Amino acid sequence: MAGIHSTVKQLIADNGKEDFLTASEILLKFADNIINHPNEPKYRKIRLANPIIENKLLPVSGALECLFEMGFIEDGEFLTFPTNIPPTLTLIQVRNELHTAIKLVRSSIGGPSTGQATPAVQQPSAPAVRQVPQRSRQQMQQAERLFFKKIESSLVHVLSYERRDFQLKAKSIIPMEELNKEAQSRYSAIQAADKDSSSIGLQDCFLLSLLAWFKNSFFKWVDAPDCDMCQGKTRGVGMAEPTQEDLRWGASRVENYRCDKCNRYVRFPRYNDPGRLLDTRRGRCGEWANCFTMCCRAVGFEARYVLDWTDHVWTEVYSTSQRRWLHCDPCENACDKPLLYECGWGKKLTYVLAFSKDEVQDVSWRYSSNFKEMMSRRQEVRENWLGQVCFRLWNEKNKVVPEERRKEMERRCIVEVVEFITQKKNDNDLSGRTTGSLAWRLARGETGSPSQASSEPFVFTPTDSEKQNKILHVRYNCAKDEYTRVSNGNEKMSGFVSCLSKCTNVFRKEEHDWKMVYLARTEGSPIAALSWKFDLKGLKVKNIEICVKSVTYENGVVSWRLCSDDKCAILRGTDDLKSVSELNGVDSMTLTANLSGGKGDVAWQHTQLFRQKNDDFDVYPFEMKIHLE
């Protein structure tokens, strides 16, 4: 198979034989239908929500990529093979490679080695329990060789983060003065709060600022690149051959797109070189985690590049004050939420490995609250083999470091093992994935559960300085996903849920095509609500100025209420601050937004809060000034 397409290689290498055969036979059926019935439109559409596609095809590594390789393009809730073109040579080649691979795999496990195994796609009557086929010693050794090759490749890659020229380049780009100032403000606010903050260091606050800057100001998510000629929207048409320049920057995979407006072809190289990514500043999770890990090393953090075998990557950063590794996902601006993927996105994790210049660690246990279920899926290699490999590589790297550093690494390893064996509780404050198209998220089962609520209600209470100045002034910028408490030294709080009293069925939506961002109901939710609570601790309201921007479409409804125990004001969504006098004299209140209505499958999108351009960092669609007596 010397000339085999990379997507077919991925399908073979990244999956067990059973999953490979099931997915390949479905893919083969799709290809045969187009080849044998080129004029039948019904064979050119694949509905992503079809149960057999969701359960048997999309979760398999490389399957979606094979469809794109064949020529299918994303089209809303469908993948579509363009009706205006005949079956392509690439489609036929991928079809033939799948057919050959199926025969070889079936032969290796004693199944039929000839004939086409391409059953019709039918909805199963009940979900089947996965049976892991017994593998011969030779087959197991082959699987472990492939697994080790993946480990080895990642260990070589992370050494690029140590290049001095890359680190200097990254540090010259990062707004150090601004982030340090913001971190100091955050740190001071934590110290002033009436709670134990001894384990939180200034570096931890800087990490949060770095994450927010990277997400909101520096890196850009790309589903499909804009046309570089007319700036029109493009659609994927398969893969392109990498040039020598592409390969120079580690882009062995190049996606090909065609502009809807001018029909120009647009290449999208998937760069793996962190130095190059500091210039392009765009991509998907691979590019995001790659470049962010580089930035972390540049500012002096100890950082690990984390590879999830079920197709995601992120970063871990060591907190010297907390003496532990912190999960950091730059795509989501999420820090220290390790159960985000299993409990929030609904991922079925298997292997999660962390890599740095010093070590490789199996950190899967940090990211799961159900060890038994995860272990049932870890069938790719022998557990004792993986443990021995990680220990051997860790030991080899630490043989050459100074004795003091080696002792520190041993201490960290022990602490980490203790963390791993401690069973974790499901965290309800975890949202579904917010970056990427619906197809991208459906393919990985990462749209999350329909209801997410904050487990610890937040209440605004006046600080000493706010009492003295007789004002509580807070505002929210949706582009940054950040609150600013103006009346408390411009204190910053990241994430719209961080200051909410209650939240049901709401997430932050980024429209990369339209370059807009807003809060909306989670997909499929008929209603949603969120509220902010203010307790003035005996002080009385003199007057309130408030701005709550909301927009509706079709028959969507957003209702705003500002209420105390015995008084209420009905508000309208506006762009400007409006004076509200109905609650003068009260000492506590709750602001609530209820979202409902809308039409069709996108009804959730017909009620939007705080809609603004994704680069409007100085515009505040939510603002509240409470003047105190």
CA distance 317 to 300: 10
Residue in this structure with the two tokens 């329909």, named with its chain if needed: 450
DSSP state of 217: I
**CA angle at residue 427 from 499 to 527, to 5 degrees?**
60
Q: What is the pLDDT of residue 396?
A: 87
CA distance 418 to 399: 23
Is 283 exposed, middle or buried, given 0-12, 13-18 or 19+ CB atoms closer than 10 A? buried
Q: What is the pLDDT of residue 115?
A: 35
| Domains along the chain with CATH numbers | 6-123 (1.20.58.2190), 136-191+284-425 (3.10.620.30), 449-628 (2.60.120.1020)
Is 149 exposed, middle or buried, given 0-12, 13-18 or 19+ CB atoms closer than 10 A? exposed
From 329, 362, 429, 481, active-site residue: 329
What is the token pair recorded at 449?
């559960």
CB 91 within 8 A of CB 79: no
Q: Is the dihedral of CA 5, 7, 12, 13 positive or negative?
A: positive
- How many other CB atoms sit within 10 Å of the CB of residue 327? 21
From 5, 99, 157, 312, active-site residue: 312
Nearest to 120 by CA among 29, 41, 27, 31: 29
Give Dmax over CA atoms of the chain in angstroms.
86
CA distance 354 to 315: 8
Nearest to 360 by CA among 162, 159, 142: 159
Q: What is the pLDDT of residue 116?
A: 36
Whether 329 is a known active-site residue: answer yes
Alpha-carbon dihedral 180, 184, 186, 189, rounded to 10 degrees: -170
Helix (H), strand (E) at residue 231: none
Q: What is the pLDDT of residue 623?
A: 96
Whether 473 is a known active-site residue: answer no
In b/e form, how buried is each residue of 577-596, taking b as 16+ CB within 10 angstroms? eeebebbeebbbbbbbbbbb
Global pTM exceeds 0.75: no
Q: Contacts by 445-448 with C-beta closer than 8 Å and gap 24+?
A: 445/54, 445/58, 445/59, 445/345, 445/346, 445/347, 445/348, 446/341, 446/345, 446/346, 446/347, 447/345, 447/346, 447/523, 448/344, 448/345, 448/346, 448/507, 448/522
CA distance 185 to 181: 6
From 285, 335, 390, 547, active-site residue: 285
Q: What is the pLDDT of residue 66?
A: 84
Could you tell me how far CA 400 lies from the centroid of its own chain?
Answer: 36
Whether 312 is a known active-site residue: answer yes
Q: What is the pLDDT of residue 59?
A: 74
Rounded average pLDDT per 10-residue block, the chain, 629 residues: 64 77 90 86 82 77 81 76 77 83 65 35 33 65 90 94 97 95 82 62 92 92 91 90 93 92 94 96 95 98 96 95 92 89 88 95 92 91 90 86 88 83 60 49 44 63 93 95 92 88 87 83 84 93 95 89 87 86 93 88 88 91 95
**CA angle at residue 312 from 308 to 314, to 5 degrees?**
85
